[in-house]
Copies of this chain bind each other. A is one copy, B any other.
């Protein structure tokens, strides 16, 4: 396929797509739910909750972190992850822009 053509789209489109991609796996949705429900963030127990190997969970956490959806700090042999609400707020707005704003001017579907 030669090259991915992502760079041919606007930054806003790319950002929104990247955010969606980070959410595009049930394991990552599940991780976010766990992180959101706990108030403290010693988060090793995620591995025990998810039906996946430790290395796989670690990889999903890395993806969420790279996408900016979660913060993480290494803390000795343990790690500490928690949700980056600021980023969520930003992207929630982007989604609203896509979902809601456009809906106003085009209420009825034509097919």
Enumerate chain A interface residues (CB-CB to B < 8 A). Answer: 5-6, 8-10, 13-14, 16-18, 20-21, 23-30, 32-33, 36-37, 39-41, 51-52, 71-73, 80-85, 88-89, 92, 95-96, 98-100, 102-103, 105-107, 109-111
Contact = CB atoms under 8 A, between A and B. Distances in A.
Given A73-B111, A85-B109, A6 B26 contact: yes
The dominant DSSP class at the A interface is helix
Contact of A109 (B13, B84, B98): B84
Which 10 pairs between the two chains have the least Cβ-Cβ distance? Answer: A9-B26, A36-B102, A20-B23, A21-B24, A13-B26, A8-B51, A20-B24, A17-B26, A13-B29, A20-B20
